[in-house]
Amino acid sequence: MRLVVAQCSVDYTGRLTAHLPLARRLLIVKADGSVLVHSDGGSYKPLNWMSPPCSLRVTPREDAGELSDLEPDWVEQWDVTHAKTGDRLRVRIHEKLSDTAHELGIDPGLQKDGVEAHLQALLAENIQTLGEGWSLVRREYGTAIGPVDILARDAEGRTVAIEIKRRGEIDGVEQLTRYLALLNRDPLLAPVRGIFAAQAIKQQARVLAGDRGIDCVTLDYDALRGIDDADSRLF
């Protein structure tokens, strides 16, 4: 990753046209080819950027020849062109205050507290959260198209397939629907009903689940971990 702090102007042309007048900014060039322009405000969002696939060409002022423009004092120009759309990001640098490069290597990815694997393990350990007399059959119950997060039996001994997401969306309901279609072909398990469980479930997902006879359950992560006593709340 290359980090450049510079006095620069920026122009974007393509599907839209945008101009950033001369100011001090942070320019980021990532290993994947993306180029981002940041100010010291605006939180995490860049002022402008170009996503890959794109190419970067750097031209020193002395190699640009005679140019008649409104910015005669720039020392270096970056031309970033998107390979598919042809959109162009032009950065004219007037002064560099810092220019550093660092090899970050492969990132292991963000590990969030309360992701699906944790929710699955907690719900499996506390399966009676779903009802008195419930029992766990197996976590990661295999099917021909992938494992169901939890296979359980309710108080009447009926089979229940549970799909767990951190955020419940339509794709998760579709996934559980496919699992149920396969599981209900097994005479040792059928009939199998489904539960779609998540920390938060979008309304569209609830509507689709209801239409397909799938129950929705909102999971309280802290309660499953035993650190939130609902009976002790004031409200």
Angle at 163 between CA 182 and CA 146, to 5 degrees: 45
Per-residue pLDDT tens for 43-98? 788 999 999 999 999 999 888 766 656 677 899 999 999 999 999 999 999 999 99
Nearest to 50 by CA among 72, 28, 21, 65: 28
Output DSSP code: residue 51: P
Indicate whether 9 and 97 sit together in one domain.
yes
Q: pLDDT digits over 22-32, tens only?
A: 999 999 999 98
In order along its 235 residues, the chain shows pLDDT tens digits of 999 999 999 999 998 899 999 999 999 999 989 999 999 987 788 999 999 999 999 999 888 766 656 677 899 999 999 999 999 999 999 999 999 999 988 777 655 555 778 888 999 999 998 999 999 999 999 999 999 999 999 999 999 999 999 899 999 999 999 999 999 999 999 999 999 999 999 999 999 999 999 999 998 877 877 744 444 333 3
Q: Map tokens 């507290």 to a residue.
A: 113
Instruction: Mark whether 96 and 197 lie in a shared domain.
Output: no
Residues with Cβ within 8 Å of 52's Cβ and at least 6 positions away in sequence, in order, are 32, 33, 34
As a whole number of angstroms, the distance between CA 8 and CA 4 comes to: 11
Residue 45 lies in a domain: yes
- What CATH number is attached to the domain comprising 200? 3.40.1350.10
* Contact predicate 7/99, CB 8 Å: no
Q: Are 122 and 91 in the same domain?
A: no
Last residue of some domain: 77, 101, 125? 101
Q: Is the pTM of this model over 0.85?
A: no
Which element (helix H / strand E) includes 13? strand 2-13
Tell which residue, 66, 86, 67, 93, has the closest CA to residue 10.
Answer: 93
Contact 222/187 with Cβ under 8 angstroms?
no
Domains of the chain: total: 2
Quickly list H helices, the chain. Answer: 116-125, 170-183, 203-211, 221-225
Residues 89 and 120 in one domain: no
Q: Cα dihedral sign for 19, 25, 29, 34?
A: negative
Range(s) of the domain holding residue 204: 116-232
Give the DSSP H or E segment for 141.
strand 135-141
Is position 72 within any domain?
yes
Specify if 106 maps to a domain: no
Residues 156 and 56 in one domain: no
Q: Select from 45, 71, 101 the last residue of a domain.
A: 101
Instruction: Quote the DSSP letter at residue 5.
Output: E
Q: Is residue 109 part of a domain?
A: no
